[in-house]
Amino acid sequence: MPSLEETQEEIVKEFSECSDWEERYGLLIEIGDTLPSFPEGKKSEDLLVPGCQSRVWVLPEEREGKLFFSADSDSAITKGMIALLLRVFSGRTRDEIRSASLDFLKEIGLDKHLSMSRRNGLYSMVNRIKSL
């Protein structure tokens, strides 16, 4: 498994190959489409990420000292954002997750090109994952 930093670098490289933000949004939606299906029965209120305009569910599972996450959203863009975060955080230890730098989000421009509500939702997802 690539390191947390290597995973972030891969994401930055993928987004840097896009010529404009329309392509980047398309890539984000494609990334969201790669999420495995989330069991409908698990879409409960306690798994909802607070502070998101869209509905986002995050389910943690600990195995051998590492956290693995499943997630889903009712919005294509938000689903892509949570898929990016899971790609970075899933399979990591709690310490790795807590201490992870999120500079890659700025490098790919998400902090500038998302609406205020989506940006707040993105950081709510990050906070939820780090708190688990």
Q: Which residue has the higher pLDDT, 80 or 117?
A: 80
Q: What is the pTM of this model?
A: 0.94
Provide the pLDDT for residue 132: 86
The tens digit of pLDDT for each residue in 90-123 reads 999 999 999 999 999 999 988 788 888 888 999 9
Determine the Cα–Cα distance for residues 61 and 10; give it in Å rounded to an integer. 25
Residues 6+ apart with CB under 8 A from 97: 67, 89, 129, 130
Active-site amino acid positions: 52
74 C-beta neighbours (distance < 10 Å), count: 12
Q: What is the average pLDDT score of the chain?
A: 94
- The verdict on domain 4-131 having CATH code 3.90.1010.10 is yes
pLDDT tens, residue by residue, 39-57 = 889 999 999 999 888 999 9
Which residue ranges make up each domain of the chain? Answer: 4-131
Dist CA 98 CA 84 (whole Å): 16
